[in-house]
Homo-oligomer: A and B are copies of this chain.
Amino acid sequence: MNASTITVAQSNAFVATFELSPTGSGLLDGLCFAVKDLIDVAGWKTGCGNPSWRDSHPPAVANAVCVEQLLQAGARCVGKTVSDELAFSLLGQNHFYGTPLNPQAPDRVPGGSSSGSASAVACGLVDFALGTDTGGSMRVPASNCGIWGMRPSHGFISVAGVNPLAPTFDTVGILTQSVEVLTRVMTVLLACAPASAQEPSAIYLIPEAFALADAEVRQALTKSVQRLRDCFGERVRESSLRDLAGDETGASFSTWRDTFCAIQWAEIRSCLGAWIADAKPAFGSAIAANFELTNQLDCRRIAETTERREQYYRCLHSFLGPHDVLCMPTTPALAPHKGAAPPRTAGGSGYYPRALGLTSVAGIGRLPQVSLPVACAAGAPVGLSLLARSGQDTFLLDVARRLA
């Protein structure tokens, strides 16, 4: 589909449209943006993609801090976008609000949970959109929709006014078609000076991550990996997953995924369990199944899992120098076809477990990650991801821009 002709209604990306003028002027003058409906805009209900949530909560009285930062830097806000229910899905099919359009692959899901934000950007309806990412909710839709998506280092962009899912993984970030816009917006949100052009010391391809991906994804990314080698020569190397984790337990993505999921599920129960038990909300069946999983978590696993998480974090932090980069596919497969969405519990080789394996590295490592829209396979977009040490967000953006 030709993005330039898609209307708001055709995109099905929005839950509300409006005009909110900038409150200041600066780096973002002239740009317009949309806000995932998990993030507060004063006067509007934050619906979190679920009507029961919307109806049982009052309108926000203040903008989330990130919205405030963008308005003050000169951007105007034009609406709120569909989220997967309570942000707990990577698919982008909302039982109540439908499936936002993936304009580059209309028969495929946009990915979630920042589905409407990704769709609004990919359809050319906004210059950029705010999303959230706990376990892949910006990176996966960015890859599926053929746009840029950035998950920042954990803790560096305010999550105040953003509905929590799993606080030690929750982040706010940006989806956009332009790496220049991405850089400007992230500069505002991270409140940091733009990176000086700093040469990367090493760019580590993670062979297990490429091996985890379908052949068509690997094939589609070949040219981009070659471009990395052309740009950075011998500094492009390989590093095994085991070396990133520091011990044998980390040699398989399944351990990273299980570590991430145990903590995520425990945090989701803490954040949302009481409301769910009390309000007995209606959920779409896929989301109900996801929440049911959190009830099956054996809490006795939390202690050892937390220890493993911190061990992997520390090992990643000492493995990665300040100017090192990791590289892997953003997702292991093309966006699933609409309606044929894979079940969450499809075993280790299914879509979900493999996708979470890849996304869990940034979650556990608190690392910034950018998904670059670099390739296509079978007419569907494929993203390549670069990751850097926690806190090195502007350096990472600079490297990503050089590959654009």
Q: How far is the CA of A266 from the CA of B270 in the complex (A)?
A: 24
Residue-wise, chain A 264-292 has the 8 Å CB interface mask toward B (1 for contact) of 00110111011111100000000000000
Stretch in A156-164, A243-251, A323-331 with 4+ CB within 8 Å of B? A156-164
Q: How far is the CA of A276 from the CA of B61 in the complex (A)?
A: 9
Give how many copies assemble into the complex. 2
Partner of A64 from B158, B270, B310, B366 at Cβ < 8 Å:
B270
Q: Which residues of chain B have C-beta atoms less than 8 A from A160's C-beta?
A: 164, 166-168, 266-267, 270-271
Q: How far is the CA of A314 from the CA of B191 in the complex (A)?
A: 11
CB-based contact B168/A58 at 8 Å: no
Partner of A161 from B68, B271, B300, B314 at Cβ < 8 Å:
B271
Among residues of B, the one whose C-beta sits closest to the C-beta of A306 is B191
Among residues of B, the one whose C-beta sits closest to the C-beta of A188 is B303
How many A residues, CB 8 Å from partner? Answer: 55
Given A65-B263, A65-B266: A307 in contact with B159 (beta carbons within 8 A) = no
Q: Does A140 make an interface contact (CB < 8 A)?
A: no
Q: Does A309 make an interface contact (CB < 8 A)?
A: yes
Which A residues have a C-beta under 8 Å from some C-beta of B? Answer: 23-24, 26, 40, 57-65, 68-69, 72-73, 154-156, 158-161, 164, 166-168, 188, 190-192, 263, 266-267, 269-271, 273-278, 299-300, 302-303, 306-307, 309-311, 314, 366
Beyond known contacts A57-B274, A191-B303: 12 more, CB 8 A cutoff: A24-B303, A58-B278, A60-B270, A61-B274, A72-B300, A72-B303, A73-B303, A159-B167, A159-B168, A161-B271, A192-B307, A192-B310
The 8 A-B residue pairs with the shortest CB-CB distance in the complex, in nearest-first order: A161-B270, A58-B278, A160-B267, A61-B273, A62-B269, A160-B270, A191-B310, A72-B303
